[in-house]
Structure 1
Amino acid sequence: MKIYGVTGWKNTGKTGLMERLVTEITGRGLRVSTVKHAHHATDIDHPGRDSFRHRQAGATEVIVASPLRWAVMHELRGAEEPGLTALLARLSPVDLVLIEGYKSAPHPKIECHRAAAGRGLLAPENASIRAVASDSAHPGLALPLFDLDDTAAIAGFILAEVGL
């Protein structure tokens, strides 16, 4: 599987770009999966649901299945958070996995940047960032610069980078 990341500071448009990229790339006939890293305690389950009760009772993994989808929830129960490589190994094969977050991981990435977020670029200090998608100009930037809303061009760049 090919992998490519979308990274950047909080509130710079990463999730919106990820959503648009999935739509664009799947529209080109490729199969795409995603990995999203969260820095907080994320829970996709809700108190009172049967699956929540199973986890609260001590289950390590709970699978919820329906005619439309299935999901696995794995409780770490004090164990270390698995690395990106371990998580990728759990995915079914697809053409491309888009990864949101994981700023310091070595896979290639495009950085999202919004001037209103008030943060500088990560790219000058992070060699894994191959391009920037921004809503503002960055004179002197030594990387390709895309308009943050030019999804087709960004998708084309990513697909060329990974050889798809």
Structure 2
Amino acid sequence: MTGPPVVSIVGPSGVGKTAFLQALTRELRRRGHRVAYVKHSHHTGLLPDQPGSDTHRLALAGAEATALVGPGLLALRDATGAEVPLPQVVALLAGRADLVLTEGYRSLPTPKLLLHRAGLAPLPEEPAGETLAVVGDAPPGWSGPVFAPNDVAAVADLLEGRLLAGRGRRRGR
């Protein structure tokens, strides 16, 4: 994959992935790293072309894809309904981020942080790719690192050691 390293935060719905990602992003930013975030969703139509807009009119005219670009915005719609592959999204982020944190992408072979709370939701099948650590409760048989959800400093240490060595840290901050 071209671009910055990627780590995917995975776990059942309601386990606190987004809140954990917010805290981890703040900690990595405090340390001087540029962080990008990509949310994977199976929902369609999250950013539909607004009726009457130029992109909507061109989509109706048969454009295979439409993109809306402006200050701080990039929205891409693919008429085929195909999902833009994560490597293409990460390539767009090259130069803008030292690390890409994703929420989801369980089936891709990216390094993972597994959020797990015993008794809250059943543990989904084993994610693809290397699981770097568990955040929360260690599932049965897990022998790797386990961090408390509020110990984002330790998780940031792990990510710096494994994925961010020599990347983007601004000195003197």
For Structure 1 versus Structure 2, the TM-score category normalised by the shorter chain is 0.7 to 0.9
Show the counterpart of 2:143.
142
Show the counterpart of 2:162.
161
Quote how far apart the aligned CAs of 1:29 are. Answer: 0.7
Show the counterpart of 1:106.
109
For the residues of structure 2 that align with 1:11 and 1:98, how far apart are their CA atoms?
18
Moved more, 52-61 or 85-94: 52-61
Structure 1: any 5+ residue segments left out of the alignment?
A: none
Show the counterpart of 1:6.
9
Residues 32 and 97, structure 1, Cα contact 8 Å, conserved in 2: yes
Work out which of the residue numbers 72, 75, 78 in structure 1 matches 2:74.
72
Work out which of the residue numbers 21, 24, 44 in structure 1 matches 2:24.
21
Aligned residue runs from structure 1 range 22-41, under 5 A: 22-41=25-44
Quote how far apart the aligned CAs of 1:62 are. Answer: 3.4
For the residues of structure 2 that align with 1:132 and 1:122, how far apart are their CA atoms?
14
Residues 114 and 134, structure 2, Cα contact 8 Å, conserved in 1: yes
TM-score, scaled to structure 1 = 0.81
Show the counterpart of 1:117.
120
Question: Identity of counterpart residues, as a percentage?
Answer: 29
Matched pairs, number? 156
Show the counterpart of 2:92.
90
Structure 2: any 5+ residue segments left out of the alignment?
A: 60-64, 166-173
For the residues of structure 2 that align with 1:71 and 1:84, how far apart are their CA atoms?
18
For the residues of structure 2 that align with 1:126 and 1:15, how far apart are their CA atoms?
20
TM-score, scaled to structure 2 = 0.77
For the residues of structure 1 that align with 2:30 and 2:48, how far apart are their CA atoms?
30
Q: CA RMSD in A?
A: 2.4
